[in-house]
């Protein structure tokens, strides 16, 4: 199974680029599955139902989110029923959304799990316990499982990667919006990368206009952080898995998109 996972879609530049290139990427990279993290799609924070629908229409199979999951409240009713989107599995039980899902692909079913890290982030339940529970529920339904680890600290992500090595197909990081140069298949067959990078404007501070962030950071005067517009790239990782669900390879994916 060939899976492309694209990191955090940031604002209109990232969102439009995914819509524009999804179909062509599916063909060119011979993808069985396209999974995206869309937590920053709506003006840099959250995901609107209209965007959710258009991403699926464009050829996205499944969507993960993160700490901005409920930023657009309109998405909550969609999260109640959608089988194409998951909430972080270590969010409280009362938080809306599925803790895992399985989508059909030409190469068989693919399981999707999202986890939030705990270092420099809002307190959440234990991601290790949460992923164990999700994997037990998934059981034998599929051997191909992608885990999005949405976390601030590389150590947090590495620990979850090591913990899940051999149990899932890939553990791929999101949230910091900057790709890391550590894509590899671990000892027991799980593909790993600390952060696959965002899909959005790279001439920015993690997707936002540099001047605005600089001014607020230096002056302490709050202002709206506009989504930046320059150097738009789609970033992610392409994972190829074997019939037993272990990863055969992982390759960093990066594509410059003309504005
Ligand atoms: Fe993000
Ligand atoms: Fe995030």
Tokens of 255: 């594509």
Sketch out the chain's domains with CATH numbers. Answer: 2-257 (3.60.21.10)
- Residue 234 pairs in a beta bridge with 255
- Residue 205 pairs in a beta bridge with 208
Write down the catalytic residue from 21, 68, 144, 177: 68
Number of C-beta neighbours around residue 251 at 10 A: 15
pLDDT on residue 69 = 98
23: CA distance to ligand 1 center in Å? Answer: 23
For residue 68, give the ligand nearest its CA: 2
180 in Cβ contact with 207 (< 8 Å): no
120 in Cβ contact with 84 (< 8 Å): no
Query: Could you tell me which of 5, 27, 66 has the C-alpha nearest to residue 234?
Result: 5
198: CA distance to ligand 2 center in Å? Answer: 10
The CA distance from 251 to 167, in Å, is 20
2: CA distance to ligand 1 center in Å? Answer: 24
244: CA distance to ligand 1 center in Å? Answer: 31
Specify the DSSP class assigned to residue 32: S
Tokens of 142: 């599929």
Tens-digit pLDDT string for the chain (259 aa) = 999 999 999 999 999 999 999 999 999 999 999 999 999 999 999 999 999 999 999 999 999 999 999 999 999 999 999 999 999 999 999 999 999 999 999 999 999 999 999 999 999 999 999 999 999 999 999 999 999 999 999 999 999 999 999 999 999 999 999 999 999 999 999 999 999 999 999 999 999 999 999 999 999 999 999 999 999 999 999 999 999 999 999 999 999 997 6
The angle at the Cα of 203, spanning 199 to 205, to the nearest 5 degrees, equals 85
171 in Cβ contact with 190 (< 8 Å): yes
197: CA distance to ligand 2 center in Å? Answer: 11
The CA distance from 121 to 174, in Å, is 13
pLDDT on residue 258 = 76
For residue 9, give the ligand nearest its CA: 1
35: CA distance to ligand 2 center in Å? Answer: 16
Residue 31's region, left for phi above 0, alpha for psi from -120 to 50, else beta, is beta
For residue 198, give the ligand nearest its CA: 1
Looking only at the bridges linking them, the beta strands covering 144-150 and 170-174 are parallel
For residue 208, give the ligand nearest its CA: 1
pTM of the model: 0.97
134 in Cβ contact with 113 (< 8 Å): yes
Residue with tokens 């074997």: 242
- In the annotation, is 68 catalytic? yes
Helix/strand/coil (H, E, C) string of 58-105? HCCCEEECCCCCCCCHHHHHHHHHCCCECCECCCCCCCCCCCCEEEEE
pLDDT on residue 174 = 98
């Amino acid at each position: 199974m060939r899976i492309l996972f694209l990191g955090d879609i940031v604002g209109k530049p990232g969102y439009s680029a995914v819509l524009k290139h999804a179909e062509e990427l599916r063909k060119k990279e011979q993808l069985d599955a396209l999974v995206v993290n869309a937590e920053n799609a709506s003006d840099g924070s959250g995901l609107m139902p209209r965007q959710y629908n258009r991403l699926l229409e464009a050829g996205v199979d499944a969507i993960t989110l993160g700490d901005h999951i409920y930023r657009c409240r309109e998405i909550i009713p969609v999260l109640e029923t959608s089988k194409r989107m998951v909430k972080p599995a270590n969010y409280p039980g009362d938080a809306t959304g599925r803790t895992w899902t399985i989508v059909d692909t030409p190469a068989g079913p693919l399981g999707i799990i999202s986890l939030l890290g705990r270092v420099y982030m809002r307190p959440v339940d234990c991601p290790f316990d949460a992923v164990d529970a999700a994997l037990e529920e998934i059981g034998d339904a599929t051997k191909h499982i992608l885990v999005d680890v949405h976390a601030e600290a590389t150590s947090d992500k590495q620990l979850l990667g090591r913990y899940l090595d051999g149990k899932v197909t890939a553990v791929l990081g999101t949230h910091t919006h900057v790709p890391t140069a550590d894509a590899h298949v671990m000892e027991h067959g799980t593909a790993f990368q600390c952060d696959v990078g965002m899909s959005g404007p790279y001439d920015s501070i993690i997707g936002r206009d540099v001047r605005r962030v600089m001014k607020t950071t230096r002056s302490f005067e709050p202002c709206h952080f506009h989504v930046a517009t320059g150097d738009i790239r789609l970033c992610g990782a392409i994972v190829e898995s074997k019939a037993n669900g272990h990863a055969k390879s992982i390759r960093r994916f990066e594509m410059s998109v003309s504005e």
